[in-house]
Amino acid sequence: MSDHLRRRKAVLPVIARDLCTGCGWCVAACPDHLLVLEVDSQRRKAAELPQPELCPGCGKCLPVCNFRAIRLVKRVAQIPAGRA
C-alpha cells in the first residue's frame, strides 16, 4: 500500500454548493491543493473536490469555512470490480 493511501483518514470533506460562497478560504487551507474553485453555468463560484480519492481527510478546510458549507463524512469503502 502506498504512503499516500496509508495516511488517509476515514473522513472526507463534502461541500454544500448551496451554502458555499466561493470565498476560497478552504482552497487556500488545503495543504495538498486538492480543493479548487469551479464556476457553474450560472457563473457562481463554489469549492469542489474533483479527486476525493486523493484527499487525506485532514479536515483543515472545515474550520476556515465561515458559512458551514463543509462537513466531514465517512468514506465509503470501494470494492474493486470483480471482488464483490
pLDDT at 15: 97
pLDDT at 7: 61
Contact 70, 7 (CB under 8 A): no
Q: Which CATH class name applies to 3-73?
A: alpha beta
Average pLDDT over residues 34-45: 95
Q: In the structure, how many helices (H) and strands (E) does the chain have?
A: 2, 4
Round to whole Å and give the CA distance between 46 and 53: 20
Average pLDDT over residues 58-82: 87
Contact 63, 26 (CB under 8 A): no
The pTM score is 0.79
pLDDT tens for each residue of 40-54: 999 999 999 999 999
> Cell numbers of 24, please?
476560497
**Collapsed DSSP state (helix, strand, coil) of residue 45:** strand
Average pLDDT over residues 6-23: 89
Domains of the chain by residue range: 3-73
